[in-house]
């Protein structure tokens, strides 16, 4: 039961989406199933009734062939039309639901706490957004709608058989509902572990294959190619074993439903023969009852696939559920963002989520508009953490914070598989080519881009592949320069650039940063020379705060890495 409760957020999302389409789809499926069953029953009755009517002249002349044959034609055409409509509506509804779901999952993963967790395992997002969401399409198409349709059809058949004889109706209702739903239920329990195993094997197969392709050179150098290939083969074998087990479970459910169908048919046949013998019903009604019984299990047969996939569906719902609830990020403590105001931190402490202690404690500092700050200190002291706090990526655990909207250049350059233009436009969607080229110039990359045949339309590979590390860094810098933010936060902006380019970039930054607040985390003299104030971090606190023009400033500068 607790596992079933994992479906709640998914079902709630289905319901808040376009539920009309889901309801129409189910109704159309129900009409299609009913029309098929009624067609068989009415045809059987009609054939039997016409042949009996033909035995004597009077009945042959008086028997109305038109109404039943019109009914048969109506049912045949109606079934075709409703099947067409059902396919259209149910698939449209499913695609709509999946799109809705994908958006919610993505929003869930975009929350700061989840995004940080994902950074450690990016393939997880890919799997959640692809195979987990796809696994949920069977919830409506193969489980919810077919269960409702099969149960509804069973009740309708039982009601029709109750007209033949009440006991026949009651017993068929019990058999159809108990065994028709029970067999797929048992199949789903039998298959659940295999369905989950299949999903794990598929993820392992995909991620190991990606590792093989991406890390081919490293694997070859360390003589691990063979081991990686064997790991892929092992995942493939597990996948095939799970597939075989699932196929067996599905075949078993099919076999069970086949036996049930034969047993029900035999039972109704015997009952109809008994009732006909007793004179309670005639041959046409007996034929009608037998053919209804013949068709009654058809809607249940559609449950087989959904039943064996149900374990996977539950697993996907369990994984995605926490991302679907409407929790927002925790409020940012004492944070206000007002234009024209300086940055102000009052007794602020900050740490990384899940870490035992704060990285920075009880920090107080005020930064005036237009001021340029260099953050210096030993590696791991918390410079990047302070930038993340100012950028709003981390929350303060205590204290008050006033900060501007900002542009942030982190140590890890995030570039996307897109054109250079697309990568730059992330910073300012409406930016013109001239503005982009000017930003590239300021970042020292314009002449390289001009030398490319595609110019700004050149497509980058995943993660900026196609650019050297230094070029990628300059492109990220150009993207920052395009952002017209009052505050620029730069984390070691010229790391990885050669001396000449780095000096050039610092000079251009100096020019472009006029009028903005600049906070640069750095280990080098050339970057710190941009600043008119140096904050020295030590042991989680600000150990020194020195202004340009003082001997202390020159001393701090001299202790930094020379260019």
Specify the residue, 49 or 489, whose C-beta has the smaller distance to ligand ATP. Answer: 489
Burial 106-138 (b: 16+ CB within 10 A, else e): eebbeebebeeebeeeeebbbbbbeebbebbbb
C-alpha count within 13 angstroms, C-beta hemisphere, residue 294:
15
315 sits near ligand ATP (criterion: CB under 6 A): no
Q: Which is nearer to ligand ATP, 246 or 521 (CB)?
A: 521
Among 55, 213, 355, 356, binds ligand ATP (CB under 6 A): 355
Per rule CB under 6 A, count of chain residues that contact ligand ATP: 12
Contact 2, 81 (CB under 8 A): no
One residue of 82, 385, 471, 494 binding ligand ATP per CB under 6 A: 385
The answer to whether 321 touches 14, Cβ cutoff 8 Å, is: no
Nearer to ligand ATP, 211 or 495 (CB): 495
Q: Which residue has the tokens 């870490």?
A: 355
Q: Does 383 bind ligand ATP (CB under 6 A)?
A: yes
* CB 325, min distance to ligand ATP, A: 24
468-527 residues in contact with ligand ATP (CB under 6 A) are 521
For residue 33, give the nearest of 417, 321, 299 by alpha carbon. Answer: 299
Interatomic CA distance for residues 11 and 14, integer angstroms? 5
DSSP readout, 280-323?
A: SS-HHHHHHHHHHHHHTTHHHHTHHHHHHHHHHHHHHHHHHHHH
Of 167, 233, 159, 163, nearest in space to 201 by CA: 233
Q: 447: which 2 tokens?
A: 């002449």
Instruction: Characterize the bridge pairing of strands 372-376 and 517-521.
Output: parallel
DSSP 139: I
Q: Which stretch binds ligand ATP (CB under 6 A): 77-85, 167-175, 373-381, 542-550?
A: 373-381
Which listed residue (226, 380, 453, 549) binds ligand ATP by CB under 6 A?
A: 380
Q: Which is nearer to ligand ATP, 39 or 489 (CB)?
A: 489
Is residue 62 a contact point for ligand ATP (CB under 6 A)? no
Q: How far is the CB of 127 from ligand ATP (least distance, A)?
A: 22
Residue 323 binds ligand ATP (CB under 6 A): no
Q: How far is the CB of 441 from ligand ATP (least distance, A)?
A: 28
Residue 382 lies near ligand ATP (rule: CB under 6 A): yes
The answer to the question of residue 356 lying near ligand ATP (CB under 6 A) is: no
Q: Check residue 122 for interaction with ligand ATP (CB under 6 A).
A: no
Tokens of 179: 């065994």
> Among candidates 511, 540, 543, which has minimal Cα distance to 441?
511
Q: Minimal distance in Å, beta carbon 353 to ligand ATP?
A: 7
Closest approach, Cβ 116 to ligand ATP, in A, equals: 6
Judged by CB under 6 A, does residue 257 bind ligand ATP? no
Answer yes or no whether residue 102 interacts with ligand ATP by CB under 6 A.
no
Q: How far is CA 556 from CA 101, 370, 548, in A?
A: 53, 22, 10
Q: How far is the CB of 359 from ligand ATP (least distance, A)?
A: 4
> Going edge to edge, which strands form the sheet with 335-336?
335-336, 396-402, 343-350, 360-367
Stretch that binds ligand ATP, among 44-52, 302-310, 376-384, 470-478 (CB under 6 A): 376-384
Residues contributing to the site for ligand ATP (CB under 6 A): 352, 355, 359, 377, 379-385, 521
């Amino acid at each position: 039961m607790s596992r079933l409760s994992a479906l709640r957020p998914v079902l709630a999302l289905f319901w808040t989406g376009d539920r009309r389409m889901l309801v129409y789809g189910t109704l159309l499926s129900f009409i299609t199933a009913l029309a098929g069953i009624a067609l068989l029953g009415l045809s059987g009755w009609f054939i039997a009734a016409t042949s009996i009517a033909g035995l004597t002249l009077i009945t042959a002349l008086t028997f109305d062939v038109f109404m039943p044959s019109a009914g048969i034609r109506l049912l045949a055409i109606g079934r075709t039309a409703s099947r067409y409509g059902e396919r259209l509506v149910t698939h449209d509804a499913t695609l709509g639901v999946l799109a809705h779901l994908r958006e919610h999952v993505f929003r869930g993963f975009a929350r700061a706490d989840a995004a940080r967790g994902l950074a450690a395992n990016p393939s997880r997002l890919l799997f959640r957004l692809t195979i987990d969401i796809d696994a949920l399409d069977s919830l409506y198409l193969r489980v919810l709608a077919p269960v409702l349709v099969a149960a509804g059809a069973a009740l309708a058949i039982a009601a029709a058989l109750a007209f033949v004889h009440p006991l026949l109706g009651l017993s068929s209702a019990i058999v159809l509902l108990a065994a028709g739903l029970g067999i797929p239920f048992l199949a789903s329990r039998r298959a659940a572990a295999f369905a989950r195993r299949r999903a794990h094997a598929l993820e392992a197969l995909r991620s190991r294959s990606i590792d093989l392709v991406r890390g081919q050179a490293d694997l070859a150098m360390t003589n691990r190619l063979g081991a990686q290939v064997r790991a892929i083969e092992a995942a493939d074998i597990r996948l095939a074993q799970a597939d075989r087990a699932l196929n067996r479970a599905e075949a078993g459910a099919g076999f069970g439903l086949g036996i049930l169908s034969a047993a029900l048919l035999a039972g109704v046949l015997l009952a109809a023969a008994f009732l006909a013998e007793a004179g309670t019903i005639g041959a046409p009604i007996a034929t009608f009852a037998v053919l209804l019984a013949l068709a009654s299990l058809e809607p249940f047969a559609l449950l087989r696939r959904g039943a064996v996939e149900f374990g996977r569906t539950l697993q996907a719902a369990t994984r995605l559920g926490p991302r679907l609830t409407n929790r927002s990020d925790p409020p940012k403590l004492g944070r206000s963002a007002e234009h024209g105001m300086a940055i102000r931190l009052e007794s602020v402490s900050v740490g990384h989520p899940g870490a035992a202690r704060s990285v920075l404690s009880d920090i107080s500092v005020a930064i005036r508009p237009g001021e340029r700050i260099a953050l210096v200190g030993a590696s791991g002291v918390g410079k990047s953490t302070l930038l993340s706090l100012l950028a709003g990526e981390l929350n303060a655990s205590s204290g008050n914070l006033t900060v501007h909207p900002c542009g942030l250049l982190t140590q890890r350059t995030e570039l996307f598989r897109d054109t250079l233009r697309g990568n730059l436009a992330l910073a300012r969607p409406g930016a013109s080519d001239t503005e982009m080229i000017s930003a590239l110039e300021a970042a020292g990359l314009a002449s390289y881009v001009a030398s490319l045949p595609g110019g700004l339309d050149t497509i980058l590979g995943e993660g900026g592949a196609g650019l050297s590390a230094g070029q990628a860094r300059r492109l990220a810098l150009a993207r920052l320069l395009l952002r017209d933010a009052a505050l620029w936060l730069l984390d070691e902006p010229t790391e990885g650039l050669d001396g000449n380019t780095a000096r050039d970039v610092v000079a251009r930054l100096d020019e472009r940063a006029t009028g903005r607040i600049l906070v640069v985390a750095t280990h080098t003299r050339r970057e710190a020379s941009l600043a008119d104030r140096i904050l020295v971090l030590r042991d989680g606190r600000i150990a020194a705060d020195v202004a340009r023009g003082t001997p202390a400033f020159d001393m701090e500068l001299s202790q930094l890495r020379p260019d």
